[in-house]
Amino acid sequence: MVQLASQDNAAQDIGALMRQQRQFFDAGSTRSVAERVENLKRLKQAVLEAQADIVQALAADLGRPEFEATTFETGVVMEINEAIKHLKRWAKPKWVMPSLMQFPSLAQIYAEPLGIVLIIGPWNYPVQLMLSPLVGAIAAGNCAVLKPSELAPHTSRAIAHLIRKTFDPSFVAVVEGGVETSQQLLEQRWDHIFFTGGTAVGKIVMQAAAQHLTPVTLELGGKSPCFVDADIDVMKAAQRIAWGKFINAGQTCVAPDYLLVDRRVKLALVEALNTTLQAFYGDDPATSPDYGRIVSDRHFERLARLLGQGAVLTGGQTNAEQRYIAPTLLDDVSLSAPIMQEEIFGPILPIIAYDTLDEAIALVQAKSKPLALYIFSRDRDYQTRILHRTSSGGVCINDTILQIAESQLPFGGVGDSGIGRYHGKASFDTFSHHKSVLRKFFRFDLDWRYAPYKNKLGMLKTMIK
């Protein structure tokens, strides 16, 4: 971990760290694929060893139950196994067949590391969203600097400790701090910036990156809608919706933000959601060991304000001291109220009934493109109509959240919900430059391309038809 003694010399420290990493990278120290695999194994081992510390830190920051810490944090980071298994194949230069015009020649695409990359993370899944991108960065042969969120301070410390124990800072380092530290980091010239956070800060990151023409991956948020058809298994749908919405007390970037429910099934769904919430968290979720807390007072107050923007069907209880907000179902929300304009990012679920699917689709089309979109229906035609007429980072049909757990499916947003994608091979590609190499020989030369061009134009025109 890099200790930034004071804001005055923080920039100097960051500069020194980057010079160190640049030197390490330029010396070719990250090029060997075998060494990258060893580093991934080291990271895996370190995460496994730090499991107890991580669980403790997440409980302190977010009241996160151990089951969720294991499933959604360290469990997700174990996609590292896939990188270890496939890296040799991913990193191999790919042969492609050149056109006849190039004869004789050979053509290859090399995946080369970008250099030194900055990874900035949010607080809501503070381990996964730091270490998963790091897997891609290491696999692709980069040096990396991580900036965890200051809003999950215990976890930030745990990550810094884990990385310091495992890697030399000239290869991977953690810089802890808040917005100012983040801004100082963003002033530097990186070879890639991988940012996970809100859309507003995403714009700041992109602006800073533009100063150096640094490419960015922006993993942002948004209002992810959940369509519910009348033809469903109501109980199963309710369980899967409640699970996706209320894990981590709703503070999940791909949580269903609001429901668009066929009016004919609304009552049955609300009943099933109530039964489900009772089964998940008991009569009083405030006493459940499996229900989380809101990350900060600011977010608690923001969410408490949103609670008043509809009729509470279920829940609605709050406790400011504990930053507790009960799992809440809201009816009668106005489409122009803030709750339907901003990302909720908390345990409040507005339920909007529709009479025609077209009307529900129009509602989604009128908003920014979301990170996720959910469809509950047995009807293929219903599913297809939504798939073809809406745009979102990803889609999950008849479940929630699980689309991001499939490493064969690249994960990322579109429009306001982000730029770029990762997970599995997509992470390797995100942190690589795919360099095209054409290899020619001194034998054979079609000299018609050289001046003088007299009498050659006719032939050229025939060739390019």
Tell me which residues are annotated as active site: 219, 253
Select from 54, 111, 119, 120 the one that contacts ligand NAD (CB under 6 A): 120
Residue 325's Cα: distance from chain center in Å? 25
Residue 258's Cα: distance from chain center in Å? 20
Q: How far apart are CA 213 and CA 209, in angstroms?
A: 6
| Footprint of ligand NAD on 252-281 (CB under 6 A) | 253
Angle at 275 between CA 274 and CA 276, to 5 degrees: 90
φ and ψ at residue 190, rounded to 5 degrees: -105, 165
x-or-dash pattern for ligand NAD, window 208-237, by CB under 6 A? -----------xxx----------------
Q: Of the two residues 220 and 352, which places its CB atom closer to ligand NAD in the complex?
A: 220
Q: Give yes or no for residue 198 binding ligand NAD (CB under 6 A).
A: yes
The gap between the terminal CA atoms of the chain, to the nearest Å, is 60
Residue 374's Cα: distance from chain center in Å? 17
Q: How far apart are CA 43 and CA 46, in angstroms?
A: 5
Q: Of the two residues 37 and 117, which places its CB atom closer to ligand NAD in the complex?
A: 117
Continuous H helices in 50-166: 51-62, 66-69, 75-77, 80-91, 128-139, 153-166
Q: Of the two residues 221 and 315, which places its CB atom closer to ligand NAD in the complex?
A: 221
Q: Give yes or no for residue 338 binding ligand NAD (CB under 6 A).
A: no
Q: Half-sphere exposure (CA, 13 Å, Cβ side) for 127? A: 36
Select from 63, 115, 121, 370 the one that contacts ligand NAD (CB under 6 A): 121
Residue 144's Cα: distance from chain center in Å? 17
Q: Give yes or no for residue 409 binding ligand NAD (CB under 6 A).
A: no
Q: How far apart are CA 147 and CA 427, in angstroms?
A: 18
Q: How far apart are CA 229 and CA 456, in angstroms?
A: 65
Nearest distance from C-beta of residue 5 to ligand NAD, angstroms: 19
Instruction: Report the candidate in 406, 400, 430, 412 with the shortest Cα–Cα distance to residue 82.
Output: 406
Instruction: Count interface residues toward ligand NAD (CB under 6 A).
Output: 30
Nearest distance from C-beta of residue 145 to ligand NAD, angstroms: 12
Q: Give yes or no for residue 407 binding ligand NAD (CB under 6 A).
A: no
What tokens does 153 get? 């301070």
Q: How far apart are CA 106 and CA 88, in angstroms?
A: 22
Nearest distance from C-beta of residue 142 to ligand NAD, angstroms: 19
Q: Give yes or no for residue 371 binding ligand NAD (CB under 6 A).
A: yes
H or E segment and range at residue 348: strand 348-354
Instruction: Report the candidate in 454, 423, 246, 269 with the shortest Cα–Cα distance to residue 352.
Output: 269
Nearest distance from C-beta of residue 72 to ligand NAD, angstroms: 11
Contact 369, 389 (CB under 8 A): no
Select from 21, 39, 74, 124 the one that contacts ligand NAD (CB under 6 A): 124
* Widest pairwise Cα distance in the chain: 89
Q: Where does this chain touch ligand NAD (CB under 6 A) — which range of 28-36, 87-95, 198-206, 329-337?
A: 198-206
x-or-dash pattern for ligand NAD, window 411-430, by CB under 6 A? --x----x------------
Select from 51, 183, 275, 314 the one that contacts ligand NAD (CB under 6 A): 183
Q: Give yes or no for residue 179 binding ligand NAD (CB under 6 A).
A: yes
Select from 25, 72, 90, 123 the one that contacts ligand NAD (CB under 6 A): 123
Q: Give yes or no for residue 147 binding ligand NAD (CB under 6 A).
A: yes
x-or-dash pattern for ligand NAD, window 80-119, by CB under 6 A? ----------------------------------------
Reduced 3-state DSSP string for 121-136: CCCCCCCHHHHHHHHH
Residue nearest to ligand NAD (CB): 221
Q: Of the two residues 182 and 432, which places its CB atom closer to ligand NAD in the complex?
A: 182
Binding residues for ligand NAD (CB under 6 A): 120-125, 129, 147, 149-151, 178-179, 182-183, 186, 196-198, 201, 204, 219-221, 253, 343, 345, 371, 413, 418
